């Protein structure tokens, strides 16, 4: 009986961690261009960003003065962040075979250019950008958002 | 007394934290689509909604008031130079065709290699995927090997062209992912291919 309980506990824990890994840790994109001072805040610690670095869901990206960063997400979404920007990849789930999933990015301040990839083309209703007071929805788009 | 000081201090701290300058302006500007297709953005806030469908048209929200504004291409360049420079190039994919049963490119596809090399050389921190495929003629094992040979042949051309091997990911899928569905043992030139993804 004891053994059985232990096994159940292990199994539950394992399932919990694998679910967590699937959603919280999924590689969402890659850094392609960097200018100036760009940092990634991940699990509470701050890392200096570098070209080719992989970004995970829930990473926060922070750019300094006169700085910028360019990112390609797995679904071919293109993102550029301008100077003095704070933005978080809140949600990214993408099935490359079905070209299905969802994407939520928030931007506290600064500026962003966003060119939709497969998710924006196939599932525009599941792609959005949250600003402090407004929400932006996309319809197959290239656009800029800014918070001053 | 000490209690009052502590209370005052925490009240002050609370004020400082909550009265940090709130973002006073939120803006969304639609840019033109590269292929001239129609597009749009929907801006939602405080139960209001604004839709933008014209290039360089913007929604600007100050406080709770939403206004529409028209920009020009030059103004956007001047206002957001960093965003224009930082945006990565759009990923592209190239399909190369092969001579039957061999890892030799068809002449048309051989000519395409120069375009691929040029595209990669213009990118910042490029990543290249090279995925080989075959038609369904022959055994699955032979086709898996042939698909990988095709992918490696392309990898070699790319490396000779100056692309670092570290940036290239090679794989062979055999006959498992045809471009055109066929019965087994059917020869199909469209399925004898390598897809090069550049991003």
CB contact under 8 A, B41 and A80: no
Q: Alpha carbon of B78 to those of A85, B75, B82, B111, B169: distances in Å? A: 18, 5, 9, 40, 39
Report the pLDDT value the prediction gives residue A18, as an integer from 0 to 100. Answer: 44
CATH of domain B92-198: 3.30.1330.60
Q: Is any Cβ of chain B less than 8 angstroms from the Cβ of A132?
A: yes
Q: Beta A68-73 vs A45-48: how paired, if at all?
A: unpaired
| Residue with the larger pLDDT of the pair B80 and B33 | B80
- Secondary structure tally for chain B: helices H, strands E: 5, 9
Query: Measured between CB atoms, which of B42, B52, B91 is closest to A76?
Result: B91
Dist. CA B180–CA B189, nearest whole Å: 9
Question: Which residues on chain A are in Cβ contact (under 8 Å) with B199?
Answer: 30, 72, 76
Which candidate from A72, A108, A139 shows the least CB-CB separation from B88? A72
Which residues face B43 on adjacent strands?
A136, B50
Listed in sequence order, the residues at least 6 apart from B119 whose beta carbon sits closer than 8 Å to its beta carbon are B92, B198
The band of B8, judged by pLDDT with boundaries at 50, 70 and 90, is: low
ipTM of the complex: 0.82
Judged by CB atoms closer than 8 Å, whether chains meet at A32 and B22 is answered as no
The two most distant CA atoms of chain B are separated, in Å, by 93
Q: Which domains does chain A have, with CATH numbers?
A: 28-147 (2.60.120)
User: What are the tens digits of pLDDT across the range A21-60?
Assistant: 444 557 999 999 999 999 999 999 999 999 999 999 999 9
Name the residue facing A68 among B29, B31, B85 (closest C-beta): B85
Partnered with residue A81 across adjacent β-strands are A69, A112
What is the location of CATH 3.30.1330.60 in chain B?
92-198
Closest approach of B145 to chain A, Cα-based (Å): 24
Give which of B109, B115, B192 is closest to B161, Cα–Cα.
B115
Q: What is the pLDDT of residue B192?
A: 96
pLDDT in tens, B82-114: 999 999 999 999 999 999 999 999 999 999 999
Chain A with chain B: Cβ pairs closer than 8 A: 151
Separation of alpha carbons B164 and B169, rounded Å: 11
A20 falls in which pLDDT band (50, 70, 90)? very low
């Amino acid at each position: 009986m004891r053994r059985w309980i232990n096994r159940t506990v292990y199994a539950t824990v394992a399932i919990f961690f694998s679910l967590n890994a699937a959603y919280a840790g999924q590689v969402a994109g890659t850094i392609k261009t960097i200018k100036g001072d760009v940092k990634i805040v991940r699990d509470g610690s701050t890392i200096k960003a570098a070209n080719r670095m992989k970004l995970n869901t829930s990473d926060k990206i922070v750019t300094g003065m006169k700085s910028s960063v360019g990112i390609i997400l797995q679904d071919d979404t293109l993102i550029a962040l301008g100077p003095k920007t704070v933005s978080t990849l809140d949600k990214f789930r993408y099935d490359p075979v079905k070209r299905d999933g969802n994407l939520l990015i928030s931007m506290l301040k600064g500026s962003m250019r966003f060119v939709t990839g497969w998710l924006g083309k196939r599932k525009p209703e599941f792609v959005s950008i949250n600003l402090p007071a407004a929400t932006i929805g996309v319809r197959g788009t290239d656009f800029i958002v800014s918070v001053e | 007394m000490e209690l009052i000081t502590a209370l005052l201090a925490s009240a002050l701290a609370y004020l400082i934290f909550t009265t940090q300058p709130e973002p006073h302006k939120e803006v969304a500007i639609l840019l033109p689509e590269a292929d001239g297709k129609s597009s749009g953005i929907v801006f939602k806030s405080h139960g209001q909604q604004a839709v933008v469908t014209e290039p360089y048209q913007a929604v600007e929200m100050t406080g709770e008031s939403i206004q529409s504004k028209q920009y020009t291409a030059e103004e956007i360049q001047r206002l957001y130079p960093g965003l224009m420079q930082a945006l990565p190039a759009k990923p592209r994919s190239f399909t190369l065709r092969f001579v039957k049963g061999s890892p030799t490119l068809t002449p048309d596809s051989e000519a395409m290699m120069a375009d691929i090399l040029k595209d990669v050389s213009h990118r910042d921190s490029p990543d290249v995927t090279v995925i080989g495929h075959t038609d369904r003629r022959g055994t699955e094992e032979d086709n898996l090997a042939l698909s990988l040979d095709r992918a490696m042949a392309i990898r070699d051309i790319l490396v000779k062209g100056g692309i670092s091997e570290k940036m290239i990911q090679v794989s062979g899928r055999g006959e498992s992912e045809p471009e055109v569905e066929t019965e087994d043992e059917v020869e199909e030139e469209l399925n004898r291919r390598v897809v090069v993804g550049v991003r």
